[in-house]
Amino acid sequence: MIYELRVYYIYPGKMDAIHKRFSDVTLELFKKHSMKTIDFWEDAEEKNKIYYILEHKDMESRNQNFEAFKNDPEWIKAKSLSEADGPIVEKVESFFMKRVPYSPMYDYAKL
């Protein structure tokens, strides 16, 4: 398994819009495209950032699933509608990680 930490830099005043888009549309589309969401966080220092982690079988699966997600007509429509008042996300960063054998979560990953 690989884990992808995604960091979204959100335009000022758009945090409610990104939360709504994820909760109303994006998470279900992730499931549809075999993208397992581990967790979400909002920046504790009230910066306009959200963080989330996705679990992928491998990089090839990740790339195929994201490509299918990005080209899904439902996603294209939802993204367009959610950005009717302007863009929401200024920048996205991705970091790819794999668990180390001494991670406290290592045993849970085997379940």
Average pLDDT score over the chain: 92
Averaged pLDDT for residues 21-36: 96
pLDDT at 4 over 90: yes
Distances (CA, A) of 82 to 20, 52, 69: 9, 20, 16
Confidence at residue 110, expressed as pLDDT on a 0 to 100 scale: 55
Q: Which domains does the chain have, with CATH numbers?
A: 2-100 (3.30.70.100)
Confidence at residue 102, expressed as pLDDT on a 0 to 100 scale: 81
Confidence at residue 7, expressed as pLDDT on a 0 to 100 scale: 97
CB distance 23 to 32 below 8 Å: no
Confidence at residue 20, expressed as pLDDT on a 0 to 100 scale: 95
pLDDT at 106 over 90: no
**CA dihedral defined by 75, 79, 82, 84, rounded to 10 degrees?**
-140
